[in-house]
Structure 1
Amino acid sequence: MNTPWHLPKELIELYVSGRLEPIQVMSVESHLARCEHCRAAVPYEREWLAASWERIEDLVARPRPRPVARLLRRFGVPDHMATLLAATPALARGWLVAVTAVTAFAVAAAHLVSRDPQALFDGLLPFLVAAPVLPLAGIAVAYGPRVDPVHETQAATPMAGARVLLLRALAVLVTAMVLTGMATPLLPGPPGLTTAWLLPALALTATTLALSTWLTPLASAAVLTVAWFGAVLAFSKLAGDGLALFSPMAQVVYGLAVLTLIPLVYLRRARFDSGES
């Protein structure tokens, strides 16, 4: 019969003192995992081991919250709500970087074009056109089985459906507006014109949510984005004035649209999951 092999005393001493190479440590620990005799030969402090396990259990039971969740908690958002919002796919680093990059590009383009005083308004147009659709990209991936990796888990909770989508849409809207608003003072031109993107952004967001009671948020955002760019192109080519969509009269229309669509979204909130009309 083969005599079972055990770790030599010298090898155990080197292991305990931390003087083994990583590959040797892996080999020793592989043996310790299946040899009770050698495990008993390894000296340890019971108090230290108990404290170590407590720290491990604490980390497993309460994982470190994401930066977004920690920030929300500082503003008084409850823990469960902060965790839910932090899991919003749109608030991942990629979307935030994309929003920042688009706004930075639009500001740079505005400054390059506005070197000619006659082209000041034309220079602002890229920023005014891009800013209102930035929240739509976030709402498109805020909720749904195809875009949310934890959708199945959340769908089984009491907060599933309309409440999750509306909360996440609000978080995306606020985030996009804060980032865009930070870029607004950097634009050339009068304040009234540089902030003319705000009401269109609210109107497009409200329209996307209302349309999401018939279609998915992804499809709704895509339709509205194409329609918005098409309207800008039509006014620029046919009417010869792309800024007409940001005139005082247009702002009134956007404001009325928001006031009309918010009650519609509330009344049809049960349709977000079913997609029924």
Structure 2
Amino acid sequence: MDHLRLPSIFVSHGSPMTALEPGAAGAFMQALGTRIDARFGRPKAILAISAHTAARAPVLLAGTRHEAVYDFGGFDPKLYTLRYDAPGAPALASRVTALMSAAGLPVHVSPEGGLDHGNWTPLRYMYPDADVPILPLAFVPMHSPAQQFALGQALAPLADEGVLILASGSITHNLRRVFEHGLRGPVDRPEIAESAAFRHWLLTRSGARDWDALFDYRARAPHAADMHPTDEHLLPWYIAAGAGGRENAPLRLHDSVTYGSLGMDAYAFGAQAARLLEHEPAGAALT
């Protein structure tokens, strides 16, 4: 099928254990890959942006092949047996470099490959055959939400070229709260009030396209500093949002919580985002 304009996507990758214990979010990501293919056609490539791949200046990892990087410790040893050997997308690096340069944004290109768990966890569910070329982009975590949004705006033309912009992080991310019962604490703990309030605020401000509030979330959102002591896990959301455009309200596709406070929400951005919920009840999660 001919490619339609792809929405950009943000997924919460959760604990590394998500790769072994999919839960509701894993089931959602499995359905998401199938739904993207059915509604828009298989992406020609994926520009992958993860909270765990960051640098002092933007860097494209333009290796010809990628493998899973095990950037964690202390979890189930089975995690180290999981693989995701995917083709790289070095040719796409030239296109992304041109787009960023045209927007006055610096970017470096590295011949290295590798996918951190924020990338390979959702990709193993979305595209388990590892047959879609991937170009990781290391972002700058010191940049503000508005600057991340501007980066996404620069990347927006990729959506018309069959390239899926897939950002990964976490809607809420306070590891002290998440692991206060240890690395193997109860994954199904009831959600704490602070997490629920923050997620609801992000949902309602998104629906209102209140970009001023969203860019200033640390001052305006309830419990922002508690839910994001550092904000590198939320910043990829803004890159995906920028690619979708200011005129389009971010659309929540999925919401769930693990460990009582680790939000697993996923969003789609862009004029065609609602196609991912076709034949679903209004407001329903894609599960």
Q: Same fold (TM over 0.5)?
A: no
Greater C-alpha radius of gyration = 1
Q: TM-score, normalised by structure 1?
A: 0.28
User: 1 or 2, which has the higher helix percentage?
Assistant: 1
Report which structure shows greater RCO (CA 8 Å, sep ≥6).
Answer: 2
Q: TM-score, normalised by structure 2?
A: 0.28
